[in-house]
Amino acid sequence: MSMTKYAILIYDDQAGYETMSPEAWAAVIDAHSAFVKGVFELGGSLAGGEALAATRTATSIRGGSTVTDGPFVETKEALGGFYVVEARDLDHALEMAKLCPAPFGGVEVRPIVDPTQANPF
């Protein structure tokens, strides 16, 4: 059976993390470990993933040359990390994504584009 890659994008209100106790932070880390285990238990696989530093550390480039401090877009819920999973189909990816911790927001699931295929746009 062919597997497709999907990005699980984690959007959270980063303010929730700023006052988090060390114990609460450890619980978040444990929840992500449980998510990874759950992906494999559901028959998927993990192709990568990372947590991103706070949006206050971002630098953006617009128009190819204009550099500004801060994120590309100011929002309450910002992209804080991602996973790339391999799933049978979108329903399978959504089943995995429901396990993904996002205590101050939610997740978005998107297929990864295969550049060898027809233009997906």
pLDDT at 71: 82
pLDDT at 112: 95
Tokens of 61: 């480039």
Beta strands across the sheet bearing 105-111: 45-51, 77-87, 4-13, 105-111
What pLDDT digit, counting tens, does each position of 105-116 carry?
A: 999 999 999 888
pLDDT at 80: 94
pLDDT at 25: 94
Instruction: Bin 66: left if φ > 0, else alpha if -120 < ψ < 50, else beta.
Output: beta
Q: Which single residue is written with the structure tokens 């295929």?
A: 117
What the chain holds in terms of domains, given with CATH numbers, is 4-111 (3.30.70.1060)
Ranges of residues in the chain with a pLDDT under 50 are none
